[in-house]
Amino acid sequence: MTASTAQPVIFNNTVLRDGHQSLAATRMATAQMLPALEDLDALGFGALETWGGATIDSGLRFLDEFPFDRLDAIKKGTPNTPHMMLLRGQNIVQYANFPDDVVTAFVAAAARHGMDIFRIFDALNDMRNIATAVKATKAAGKHAQGTICYTSSPVHNVDTFVKLGKEIEDLGCDSICVKDMAGLIPPRICYEIVRGLKQNCSLPVIVHTHETAGLGAPTYYAAIEAGADQVDTSIAPFANGTAQPDTVRMLSLLEDHPRAPSYDLERLKRLREYFKGVYAELSNFTSIRNEVVDTEALTYQVPGGMLSNFRNQLKEQKMEDRFEEVFREIPVVREALGWIPLVTPTSQIVGVQAMLNVKFGRWKNFSPAAADVALGYYGTTPAPVDPEVRKLASKAVGKEPVDCRPADLLEPRMKALAEELKAAGLPQDEEHCVIHAMFPQELKKHYDKKEKPAAAEAPPAQPQPPPAPQAAPPAGTTRGKARSFNLVVSGKAYAVEVEELD
């Protein structure tokens, strides 16, 4: 055992972000987190994942919480532990690319409010799409963690991921995360990837996975054997299933291992009992299907959430009897689009296109997002896009292919965002500008429910430019009382969202 692998592995904890995002539709409110903060802070985790992912959207949309207020509250209650967030590179925490000035402003604002570690990824593993966020993180004096999205395909292998790790190191990142968003990485493959990264890169390596298909804990064990510096765990009942392995479970699995860490079991027991109560309070958003091992995800090699979403979608389209046919089409679409990883938003894009191929005939009807992937507007795909599919996509949407960094096509927006907020009588600081850029309607609703600040007196109404385009979530997905669908009209597919009003 080398000196680097002789050190105890460090656990990061995800209960305040990915734990409840994966198992309770991201509905844990800040007030439900506060009683747990003292114990979480005292445990000495490498980091607490407290923000990012879907928490910003869900907190604003469903819990009526201004995102930076949550970060302030949690930071105040856990001053001794680094905070970590998941950032979608040029997408920030949305589904569309944003200009560099918006990305930079978001990172700077998050850093001011106490964010320490920015885990930055791109759905295509196009490192050009994380470069601006990495630069902004470093400029703010914070930790930039470059991320590799794990996937399996004929063009992905251990060497592929090690080369991506070298790209991350060359960008100036402080660490590398292997992110297995679907819980599909086999233990031996994880061992080889981690060992390759440790042998070829000088940065710490972190592994993140899910227990969806039952591989999470053994995969972590293999990663630790290979020299991984950190792994992500959660706290039951916001653990296991579609979330990360439970902290106590991983401690037991590593008992007598030379790299076993030590965490206070009494505090962990106390936290488990507390979170049981929170889990019960969120019962409207939990499901037994998310709590158990589901090997069906291995059969189709797609994220577990995508399976359940598509059952709903196919039912809405009266195509439930074509489930197998649609899922057999997914690798066909992936191959044609350059074997892109299946992670938000690409999993939704590939799934919708597979459904359209089955419903109307292969490539007879393009979703706009799939066309954009084919034409380079999401970035460089892992393998070349099928030339014929690219031609059809160009004809379908009337756009030419590009090979530049997609954000190079976008104009700066921060000044315009401030003007829009001023016209609406809302605060115009960076925090409000970046949230308005991503969630303009939700921010407006948030302030409509309260008295507007006295200093922000609204001028006469003026025409306002449209908000940045936002991709819809997977069709048929339930988000509280909002549901999104793909409607097909005259052979064209449109993504729409319908919300039931109280």
Domain chopping of the chain, boundaries: 10-286, 295-408
Is the per-residue pLDDT at 448 higher than 80? yes
Write down the pLDDT at residue 411. 98
Write down the pLDDT at residue 304. 65
List pLDDT tens digits, range 94-129: 988 999 999 999 999 999 999 999 999 999 999 999
Is the per-residue pLDDT at 365 higher than 50? yes
User: 302 or 15: which carries more pLDDT confidence?
Assistant: 15
Give the CA diameter of the chain: 70
Write down the pLDDT at residue 313. 76
Write down the pLDDT at residue 458. 39
Write down the pLDDT at residue 345. 84
User: 88 or 499: which carries more pLDDT confidence?
Assistant: 88
Is the per-residue pLDDT at 472 higher than 70? no
Task: Kindly report which listed range (240-244, 293-297, 476-480) carries the lowest average pLDDT score.
Answer: 476-480
Residue range 166-170: mean pLDDT, rounded: 98
User: 465 or 422: which carries more pLDDT confidence?
Assistant: 422
User: 314 or 35: which carries more pLDDT confidence?
Assistant: 35
DSSP-based three-state secondary structure for 208: strand
* Residue whose entry in the numeric block shows the structure tokens 């919480």: 65
List pLDDT tens digits, range 229-240: 999 999 999 999
Percent of the chain with pLDDT strictly greater than 70: 87
Write down the pLDDT at residue 344. 80
User: 313 or 32: which carries more pLDDT confidence?
Assistant: 32
φ/ψ (deg, to 5) at 479: -125, 85
Sheet holding 478-479, edge to edge: 478-479, 482-489, 492-499
Write down the pLDDT at residue 294. 86
Is the per-residue pLDDT at 4 higher than 60? no
Binning pLDDT at 50, 70 and 90, where does residue 301 land? confident
Write down the pLDDT at residue 461. 39
Residue range 455-461: mean pLDDT, rounded: 40
Write down the pLDDT at residue 488. 43
Give the H or E element holding residue 104: helix 100-112
User: 490 or 57: which carries more pLDDT confidence?
Assistant: 57
Q: Which residue blocks in 3-89 are alpha helix, DSSP H?
A: 3-6, 20-23, 30-33, 37-42, 55-62, 67-77
User: 428 or 495: which carries more pLDDT confidence?
Assistant: 428
Same fold, 10-286 and 295-408: no
- Of residues 183, 178, 174, the one with CA closest to residue 195: 178
Write down the pLDDT at residue 501. 31
Architecture of domain 295-408: Orthogonal Bundle (1.10)
Looking from the CA of 74 toward its CB, the CA atoms found within 13 Å total 32
Q: Which fold has domain 10-286?
A: TIM Barrel (3.20.20)
Write down the pLDDT at residue 451. 62
List pLDDT tens digits, range 238-249: 999 999 999 999
Write down the pLDDT at residue 305. 63
Rounded to two decimals, what is the model's pTM? 0.87
Residue range 196-222: mean pLDDT, rounded: 97
How much is the mean pLDDT over the chain? Answer: 89
Is the per-residue pLDDT at 474 higher than 90? no
Strands (E), 351-449: none
Q: How far apart are CA 419 and CA 465, in angstroms?
A: 10
**Residues 347, 230, 144, CA angle at the centre, nearest 5°?**
70
* Residue whose entry in the numeric block shows the structure tokens 């999205």: 149
**Contact in structure between 442 and 60 (CB atoms under 8 Å):** yes
